[in-house]
Amino acid sequence: MWWWWPTAWHEDDWFDERPGQDVVPGVRWWPGITGLQLLADMFVAGSDDVPLGYGHNYGEGYVDAFAWVTGAELDDGDLARLRETIAATSRPG
């Protein structure tokens, strides 16, 4: 999560990082305003309108990472079923 109270008043280190290819050019930190924008983003980040891999829409795109991190012994069929189950599960929002 990239939001907490100090971000509203002090520029965070992640503004010094190279922006991703999908970041609008010219995005920068503004006292108060950026904090409010980030807070508002937290409310819509899980919306069904957010594409897979953005906001809080992790979806089935992270099944392989989950299996690797947890050390779960899942074969290709297990992984496929898990992806299908996650894709079919509606998200609140």
Query: One digit per residue, pLDDT tens: the chain, 93 residues?
Result: 456 678 788 888 878 888 888 888 778 888 988 888 888 887 877 777 777 777 777 777 788 888 899 998 899 999 999 989 988 876 665
Confidence (pLDDT) at 1: 47
CA 16 – CA 31 distance, rounded (Å)? 16
Confidence (pLDDT) at 12: 83
What CA dihedral angle connects 21, 68, 43 and 35, to 10 degrees? -60
